[in-house]
Amino acid sequence: MSAGRLQQSHREEDSSGPEKLTATDIKMFLLKCLPLVALIATAFSANPGVKIRLTQKGLEYGRQLGVASILEKLKTAQIPDFSGKERVSPIGKVQYSLTNIRVVNLGLPQSSINLVPGSGVQLSISNAFISLHGNWRVKYLRVIKDSGSLDVSVNGLSISQTIAIKSDATGRPEASSASCSASVSSAKVKFHGGASWLYNLFSKFIDKALRKALEKQMCPLVAKSINDLNPRLKTLNVLAKVDKYAEIEYSMVSSPQISQPAIDLNLKGEFYNIGRHQEAPVPAPAFSLPAQSSNMIYIALSSFTPNSAGFVYKNSGVLSMYVTDDMIPRSSPVRLSTSTFGFFIPQISQQFPGLMMKMLVKADKNPVVKFQPNTMTVDATATATAYAIQPNGTLSPLFVLNVESSVSGQMSVSNLKLAGRISLDKMKLTLGTSYVGDFKVNSLDNILQVILKLVVIPTVNVQLSKGYPLPALGKMNLVNTQLQIMQDYLLIGTDVQFTG
C-alpha cells in the first residue's frame, strides 16, 4: 500500500469515531427516563397505610418493664474477683484478694425515661443502692495469712443510657445501646472474721477499687437488658394471615420518627393475596395523627388498608355469591321465583312459568372505603344476574342489572382484631342486559333491597365479624380501647398489657 493510500486509510478510521449527541437525542433520552424517575420517586415517597404512636404514657409503661428487667440483670450480676497491694501502717505492704462477690440486695428507687428527638430514648437511673457479700484473703509480712467475709454497701449508683431504635432488615423495630455512662458515689467495705479490725483500717483503698469495678460492670449489664428487648420486638407480625385468601403486611417502611412528645412508627398496612404480592392500584393518602396522649398507643389505619383488602378479595373471586330462594327467610313475601318476578315483569312468568330462580351478585369494581369524621362509607358497584332454573337444572339467563350501592360501616376491636359491620344506605339500579324484552328497572328496587338486606349483607357481615389482625408484639393485650373515625383514617386509642 502506498503512503498516500495509508494516510487516507488513517483519516477514514479517525472519521468513524463516536457519534456526537444531538439536542434531539438528549430530548428523547430524557423523555424515556423521566417516567422511570417518577416511578422510583413515587415508590420511595409512598405514604404508610398504618401509623403507630407510642406516647409518653406508653413510654412510662415501657420504663417500668425496662427497669424490672435491669433489676433482674443486676441481681444476677457476676462481680469479678480482684486483688491488689497496699502499704498499710504499721504492718507494711498488704496483698489482698476479694472473691465470690454477689448481690444480696438491690434498689432502683428513681428512674425516668425521655425522648431524644431524632436519636432515641434516654433511660436514667439515680440514687440506686446495692448490697454485696463476698470473701476476703490477705497476706503480709511475707508469712502471715488471714481470711474472712466482707459486706459492701454501694450507694449513689447512677446510670444514663441512650437507646437507639431503628428498622431492621425485616421491617421490625430494633433497639441497641447508643451511649451509656455509670457512676457510683460510694462503695464501703466492712471486713468480718480474722483480724478484721486491722484490715478495716485500709478499707478506703479497696473502696475506691471496688467502686471503679462496679462502674465498669453497669453499662454492659444495661446493654444486655436492651438486647433482651429485641426478641420481643421481633414478634411484630410483619406478615399476618387473615384467612385462606389474604394476608396483611405490617413491616416498617422507614425508621421510627422520634420527637419530643412521642415515637411514631410508619407501617405498610397493605393486604395481599397469599403468596402473590401485587400492589393495590390505589395510593395511600397522607395523614397526620392528632395531638392526643391519654392512651399508651394510637393505631391509625388509613382508608388505603381496607381498600387494598377490597382489591385483594375481588382478585380472589370472593366478592361474588349465588343467592337462592332457600337463603331468603320464609317469612319474607319476596321469593326467588318466576311467579314473584313475573308480577313486575310479566314476560318472565309467560316465558318461564312456575320456575324457581337463582341470582348471581358479583362485584364489578373494587369497593371504595371512605373515612370522614365520625362516618365510614363503602361505595360498591356490582352486577346482579338473574336466572330461571329449568327442570333439568340448567340456567336460563333473564336479565343483568347494574347495582350501585352505598353502605355505612361500624368498626370494633376485640382480641387484637379489627372487625366490622355494614348496613345498606342507598341503592341505584340500571339495566345492563335483558333476555326477556324491555321492562321498568325501578320496579325491581324493593326486591333487590330485600335480597341485599336479608341475604348478601348478612353474609358479608359474618365475614367482617371475624376481623383481621392488628399490628401486635408478642403476648400483648389491648385495654381501655377507643375508636374514632377521622378524615381519611380510623384511629384506635388504647392502653396495653404484656402477659409474658
Using an 8 Å Cβ cutoff, are 487 and 287 in contact? yes
pLDDT of residue 202: 66
Check the CA dihedral 188-193-197-203 and report its sign: negative
pLDDT of residue 88: 72
pLDDT of residue 139: 85
C-alpha to C-alpha distance for 128 and 70, rounded to whole angstroms? 12
C-alpha to C-alpha distance for 155 and 134, rounded to whole angstroms? 17
User: Three-state DSSP class for 178?
Assistant: strand
pLDDT of residue 411: 95
Check the CA dihedral 383-384-388-394 and report its sign: positive
pLDDT of residue 386: 97
Which residues make Cβ contacts (< 8 Å) with residue 102, sequence separation at least 6?
79, 132, 133, 134
Other Cβ atoms less than 10 A from the Cβ of 428: the count is 13
Q: Hey, where are the domains in the chain?
A: 77-234, 239-498
pLDDT in tens, 54-96: 999 999 998 888 888 888 888 887 788 888 887 777 777 888 8
Find, among 82, 88, 101, 80, the residue nearest to 195 by Cα.
Answer: 88
- Residue 438 Cα to chain centre, angstroms: 54
User: Three-state DSSP class for 31?
Assistant: helix
Neighbour-count burial of 157, counting CB atoms closer than 10 A to its CB (0-12 exposed, 13-18 middle, 19+ buried): buried
C-alpha to C-alpha distance for 434 and 99, rounded to whole angstroms? 96
Using an 8 Å Cβ cutoff, are 94 and 134 in contact? no
If phi > 0 it is left, if psi is from -120 to 50 it is alpha, else beta; for residue 393 that is left
| Residue 348, H or E segment | helix 346-351
C-alpha to C-alpha distance for 175 and 236, rounded to whole angstroms? 13
pLDDT of residue 40: 35
From first to last of the 500 residues of the chain, give the pLDDT tens digit.
433 433 443 344 444 444 444 545 544 444 444 443 333 333 334 789 999 999 999 999 988 888 888 888 888 877 888 888 877 777 778 888 889 988 999 999 999 999 988 888 999 999 999 999 999 888 877 778 888 898 999 999 999 999 999 999 999 999 999 999 999 999 888 888 877 776 666 677 778 888 888 888 889 888 888 888 898 889 999 999 999 999 999 999 998 999 888 999 999 999 999 988 889 998 898 999 999 899 999 999 999 999 999 999 999 999 999 999 999 999 999 999 999 999 999 999 999 999 999 999 999 999 999 999 999 999 999 999 999 999 999 999 999 999 999 999 999 999 899 999 999 999 999 999 999 999 999 999 999 999 999 999 999 999 999 999 999 998 899 999 999 999 999 999 999 998 86
pLDDT of residue 212: 86
User: Three-state DSSP class for 489?
Assistant: strand
Using an 8 Å Cβ cutoff, are 324 and 358 in contact? yes
Q: Which residues pair with 300 in a beta bridge?
A: 51, 491
Q: 77-234 has which fold?
A: Bactericidal permeability-increasing protein; domain 1 (3.15.10)
The C-alpha cell at 245 is 385468601
From residue 448, how far is each of 4, 233, 241, 404, 425 by CA, in Å? 95, 50, 34, 11, 13
Of the candidate CATH numbers 3.40.50.11540, 3.15.20.10, 3.90.950.10, 3.10.520.10, the domain formed by 239-498 belongs to 3.15.20.10
pLDDT of residue 1: 42
Neighbour-count burial of 279, counting CB atoms closer than 10 A to its CB (0-12 exposed, 13-18 middle, 19+ buried): exposed
- Residue 488 Cα to chain centre, angstroms: 19
- Residue 197 Cα to chain centre, angstroms: 62
From residue 82, how far is each of 101, 132, 137, 214, 318 by CA, in Å? 10, 14, 11, 11, 71
Find, among 232, 265, 230, the residue nearest to 251 by Cα.
Answer: 265
pLDDT of residue 311: 96
C-alpha to C-alpha distance for 123 and 146, rounded to whole angstroms? 43
pLDDT in tens, 147-185: 889 899 999 999 999 999 999 999 999 999 999 999 999
